Chains A and B, each alone.
Chain A
């Protein structure tokens, strides 16, 4: 029974990692750039959510959890636009400057976003308004407990990932995105406006990341400005684990990392969970350097 409880917790954390990992993997897919600023865009989702909730609750008389909904949508839009802005200012001018310059630029943006958050919100832990999230839960057979909040969070994450998956697999724009990930020039020859696809990726990835930031903050209740580095870096690792550039891979990698970490900390000790998780990661990468779902088909025959 403890196992099932651990799995449920692991899947929840895994869903967070997956949602953030998608942003890394989508940008890597179209630009072969590791967007180190993504973790901090995600963190900004948490801070903007905090401000949004405080403002909304200030306007309203009572503390209804429904206020989360409009705030999270606004956060998503704001962080998505922030993502496009980061690309325009820091990456687009470096498109033809090789692989290294944009990565350094990404690190620069990461530091800027992090410092901005620390300067504007302070270095201490911040807490979401009390009692805003629905409490209570369901106790299943054998004492396995699922919180209402956990259910909401899981449903939201899976709906978002399902929508993204359908978008990339079933729509014309989503297919074009996959085409651009494979080959810019050939995509242009199809009439695809590659710059526009890149902009769409910088809307969707950070948009999902912003939502994830707010969801993580709602779930844990408090956070600080290092959230982007700590949590974001793990999501990045999840993207690598799944095979960077591969969208289902990011989802799988996030889930695996979340579950392994949780089982490790539950059965052994929380202090050892990172050692275990990353030892497993290294072992997987030794046997599959391209990640679990990376390069399923040879690029060229």
Chain B
């Protein structure tokens, strides 16, 4: 049974029909990349899964439990964390406070919070050096690390990342994708949204291609990297 299963998902913004029947599955332990052009509906897909937007039709099941229609603040506790697009750190909270907010669902479990903090500091030693700094004073790359670290503080089983490489220098982009692989190696299932299709498919086991609210292609990442249409439309090849 898939960890995450999405069937016939339809989402609207007012009259804008953003998702037009999306089907998608993520198996436990996988890295799945969702690629597509700007405006294809990638962010909308993640926001619908995390409960920020209610779908008009379709179902989302996580670990056998229906989560479509559940409010966002209850979904995190079920094991789904989202790293939102555009480095949405809490700018006037310190790094430590940002991490504490990530662990909000753990309540007063100080031991678990401390343990998770240790784990994310091992993953991002830079954050530990900056732990008393305000989030807004970090560099772009550090802010992206903080959003990922913050999402990990909730001990998710499924981590969804929305364009983590956007606007970062090439060297940092590489680090971010390596980190994604490392997180996955620790047993966290990953749903990765990217416009950087090549890097996203290289790191993934499987991929989906989204176009104007429809899944137009899906399959093993290696196969998609070789696919004629993908190469033309998303990998910039002739």
- Which residues of A come within 8 Å of B, CB atoms? 172, 175-176, 178-179, 182-183, 185-194, 296-301
Contacts and interface: CB of A to CB of B under 8 A. Distances in A.
Contacts of B108: 172
Interface of B: 50-52, 71-74, 76-77, 81-82, 84, 86-88, 90-93, 97, 100-102, 104-105, 108, 134, 136-140, 143, 150-151, 154
A193 B136 contact: no
A301 B90 contact: no
Contact of A297 (B51, B72, B137): B137
Given A172-B108, A298-B91, A189 B76 contact: yes
A192 B92 contact: no
Given A178-B97, A301-B87, 6 more contacts: A185-B72, A188-B52, A189-B84, A190-B76, A192-B104, A298-B136
Contact of A191 (B86, B92, B134, B154): B154
Given A186-B84, A189-B84, A297-B136, A175 B91 contact: no
Contacts of B93: 175, 178-179, 182
Contacts of B91: 182, 297-301
A183 B82 contact: no
Given A179-B93, A194-B73, A297-B137, A186 B104 contact: no
A172 B140 CA distance: 26
A90 B126 CA distance: 46
Contacts of A178: 90, 92-93, 97
A149 B137 CA distance: 45
B100 A175 contact: yes
A186 B87 CA distance: 10
A231 to B, nearest CB: 30
A182 B76 contact: no
B163 to A, nearest CB: 15
B227 to A, nearest CB: 33
Nearest to B52: A185
A182 B84 CA distance: 14
Nearest to A295: B92
Chain B CB within 10 Å, residue with most, of A176, A178, A182, A298: A182
Nearest to A296: B92
A301 B86 CA distance: 10
Contact of A179 (B72, B76, B101): B101
Contacts of B76: 189-191
Contacts of A297: 91-92, 134, 136-137
A273 to B, nearest CB: 34
B101 A187 contact: yes
Contacts of A301: 87, 91, 136, 138-140, 143
A289 B90 CA distance: 22
